[in-house]
Structure 1
């Protein structure tokens, strides 16, 4: 099979998959056909999984074009940069920092954006440029502004825009500031995750406009927030689906090392031991991580691997004063817990999970977000029902 054969089969097959999943709607099909994904993917890529948190080995178009085409026209994310460009070569770096997003997520978010003829759109996070090119095909270059923090990534996207004849206004800068000169916008879309909605996005969106952005707390778990901007500078709306995006560079979290916590080296010597029926394995579910992070925003976790699938889950606070561990082994119904410091962090986790069960185990679609000039709050079912925040 040569590259041309794969190309001919790839787009049509991917379109069928996306339409079958309900992601690619008929109004976006012309853009999908006119803006091929392969035109916005570099020769070297690291194929991801549907969850987006694991990358396979590098695939090079020059040495294996058939495999490259097959991955490009699969419904998976494609990592295209590691470590803000500091990493080179064909191996994996420490952290992926740019990608061509999973097509299902791309078109699901574009669907939620609800663009109409004449809409002016601000995109945060140009990346490889595919998303901005799709918007440009539908709305025209004068109606799309895209902002990218990485100059090299932005320049490569400009090259691809020029090659396809789709050239939105492409800027290098901090996306959290938006782009005031072209405001107000009818729509704002972010292709990077945030823990705080920059209020500049709300200020630069006209009343009645829509903001679509991946939002998630430091602990983990992300959902796509679809916010409508009101007359009083308040943006509010539901989470419409789960997501897994790289963080806006301006909002990346820095967590203290475990070794800096008092008592962590000695581990169980000074900590308080007890048993818990709450399994550490439940803490890895995306919705659980989201709920924990919303209610205890200064908490984060690490996993210490053991043998035969066993592991130790560390729960730590940002201040570096308290920690807890819970040991997981397959088949157990009670788990050894050690807590250290002024806070009983595992007890806080248990309280959050008890709340979640009592609320009927809500998924992302029951949560929502409201943003004002004073801050933001997550709510359940209604803006009048804020999710409790358990600050010490």
Structure 2
């Protein structure tokens, strides 16, 4: 099914304007490579004190944070800038929002489920694309945000069904249909373990679009099949707040493992092969190892899952601590990727079934983890990922 024509999405952005869903005071975080360093971490916007700056932020490609710590921390300039606070709701980047809706391919008459509606903008866009706001159901876990979304949508003349609940555990049925299924499921929060309930509530042939985030995020478009499985492909790189039921404390990449017996060896191959991986390798590392290597301020190369840790010193000496040999796992993934001809995203996909979910290369029936048999992986084949349908 071809995606909506660009003018349809453009019309939706005009008819459901973003400014109706952004509060008068918020924290704007510019996106993109051209962002000035001084603004990269974000800045305060106040519609009353500086309306021009507020309007410029709202209609730029900026993430606009609207809530901190689930509403427990007041949204102020100091709190928004503090590293100890965590954003819990934001108006996503307009470029990512439109990319996700393009992949979702909502058609007039489609019944749409919007997971994590936040302040309501994506719910309103889905309602416009579906041609009828009664066809859209939004699930929002935060009662305050659900009320805010209802008010924002009403200002635009839209009244989709808004349900307060945990979409990762239970979903409402689609109103007005005997089978209670949705044609489209739109997810606006990062997911590491895709709830099968989303597949169960989607009509065969329908699509689920979500930010797959283990932890390096990419949009993922799944197509649901008659046998109860869903397969799809990866798209644009993205960063979304995690589904609240899957939120964890981020690993401390500077922490030292408590393992008392570090393992040492010299590298046979330089770190360049794993640093700044190509998109296909990046997806495999994120899914099968849990992260990709990075360079710290001392020039050492690090890889950690928050418990285990691999450190490559400037002299090429590798030290691994914790229950997993992370660098060995990453090298194993790289070897498998190389043996398969260094596949890109056009050959790598994700599958979800009632029993498991996994990443694969070329063959949806063979989890990619099975190709890295020379080193046991910390993530089993049953919790990896698969893809078989085009994002376009």
SS at match of 1:337: strand
Picking from 227, 232, 237, the partner of 1:237 is 232
Picking from 108, 118, 126, the partner of 2:99 is 108
Structure 1 contact 222–286 (Cα < 8 Å) conserved? no
Distance 1:29 1:223, change over 3 A: same
- 1:213 Cα offset (Å): 1.0
- 1:249 Cα offset (Å): 0.8
- 1:289 Cα offset (Å): 4.3
Distance 1:231 1:325, change over 3 A: same
TM-score, scaled to structure 1: 0.80
Structure 1 contact 46–55 (Cα < 8 Å) conserved? no
Gaps (5+ residues) in structure 2?
175-179, 371-375, 379-392
Distance 1:96 1:288, change over 3 A: farther
Picking from 348, 373, 376, the partner of 2:329 is 348
Question: What residue number does 2:219 align with?
Answer: 224
Question: What residue number does 2:284 align with?
Answer: 291
Question: What residue number does 1:17 align with?
Answer: none
Are 1:31 and 2:6 an aligned pair?
Answer: no
Picking from 348, 362, 370, the partner of 2:343 is 362
- 1:353 Cα offset (Å): 2.3
Deviations 1:72-120 (A, max 9, x none): 1112322222222222221224322211111111111111112222110
Gaps (5+ residues) in structure 1?
1-21, 264-268, 329-333
- 1:280 Cα offset (Å): 9.0
Deviations 1:51-79 (A, max 9, x none): 69963121212211111111111123222
Structure 1 contact 121–145 (Cα < 8 Å) conserved? yes
Number of matched residues?
Answer: 352
Question: What residue number does 1:194 align with?
Answer: 191
TM-score, scaled to structure 2: 0.80
Distance 1:303 1:277, change over 3 A: closer
Deviations 1:161-196 (A, max 9, x none): 122211111111101135233231111110111111
Picking from 237, 258, 261, the partner of 2:258 is 261
Structure 2 distance, partners of 1:23, 1:208, is 17
Structure 1 distance, partners of 2:248, 2:341, is 31
Structure 2 distance, partners of 1:326, 1:237, is 35
Structure 2 distance, partners of 1:244, 1:24, is 25
Question: What residue number does 1:90 align with?
Answer: 77
Question: What residue number does 2:48 align with?
Answer: 62
- 1:356 Cα offset (Å): 2.8
SS at match of 2:103: helix
Question: What residue number does 2:128 align with?
Answer: 137
Are 1:252 and 2:240 an aligned pair?
Answer: no
